[in-house]
Chain A
Amino acid sequence: DVKVTQSSRYLVKRTGEKVFLECVQDMDHENMFWYRQDPGLGLRLIYFSYDVKMKEKGDIPEGYSVSREKKERFSLILESASTNQTSMYLCASSPETRGGTEQYFGPGTRLTVT
């Protein structure tokens, strides 16, 4: 069974802290994605990775960085958390293909920055 797991379901951090969100997939997928989800805005792509150590900015990369040292693991880093980064963060993966293909999502991490 296809599985994407995220390290935490809920996280509370203070302004200025460095925050790590971890995502692991067991499907040997090439592509991995980080989104944030806010009411009325749908899913907005922060960063994606199409291979180990390869990454590209999405639509809203400011304030975030990512790391992909192993194929199955994709980390999202908030270098200095701010209150406007309070959100639901979703990780997804998909196999290598051209054009749109199904993305498999983790359960999400609800991050609150105080």
Chain B
Amino acid sequence: TQLLEQSPQFLSIQEGENLTVYCNSSSVFSSLQWYRQEPGEGPVLLVTVVTGGEVKKLKRLTFQFGDARKDSSLHITAAQPGDTGLYLCAGPAGGTSYGKLTFGQGTILTVHP
């Protein structure tokens, strides 16, 4: 079973601060995804990283896929209260098709005004 470990589990910061969330595994993934879940809603895909070493930017969010494709990070610059939510990384569940994903346990981010 391929496991994804996220850290930290909780993050509470002030508006304007920078932060990084990590997603690590001992297994190689062909791709990794990042989702954000707001209270009362289901997760929504933010980005998929596919190539080792790849960096993708989505406004103030920067996503990186490790060179060995075993880890990924999400960096937020100048966090805003609207960034508050649960951030989940996910990768294809090993040895299967049908679009199965395995998820990390999530990072709860709270940005205070």
Contact = CB atoms under 8 A, between A and B. Distances in A.
Query: Are A and B physically bound partners?
Result: yes
Interface of A: 4, 9, 30-31, 33, 40-43, 45, 48, 50, 56, 90, 92, 94-103, 105-108
Nearest to B106: A42
A42 B92 contact: no
B42 A102 contact: no
Overall SS of chain A's interface = loop
A50 B100 CA distance: 10
B97 A99 contact: yes
A100 B65 CA distance: 15
Interface residues of B, number: 27
B112 to A, nearest CB: 21
B56 to A, nearest CB: 14
Nearest to A93: B99
A99 B41 CA distance: 25
A48 B31 CA distance: 21
Given A43-B88, A99-B31, A105-B44, A48 B98 contact: yes
Contact of A42 (B30, B42, B88, B100): B88
B64 interface: no
Contact of A45 (B30, B43, B100): B100
A92 B103 contact: no
Contacts of A97: 97, 99
Return the 3 tightest CB-CB contacts between A and B, nearest first.
A105-B42, A100-B92, A42-B105
Nearest to B43: A105
A97 B101 CA distance: 12
B48 A102 contact: yes
A31 B99 contact: yes
Nearest to A90: B42
A100 B88 contact: no
A10 to B, nearest CB: 10
Interface string B78-113: 000000000010111100011111011110000000
8 contacts: A31-B99, A43-B103, A48-B100, A99-B92, A99-B97, A100-B30, A100-B92, A105-B44
B105 A40 contact: yes
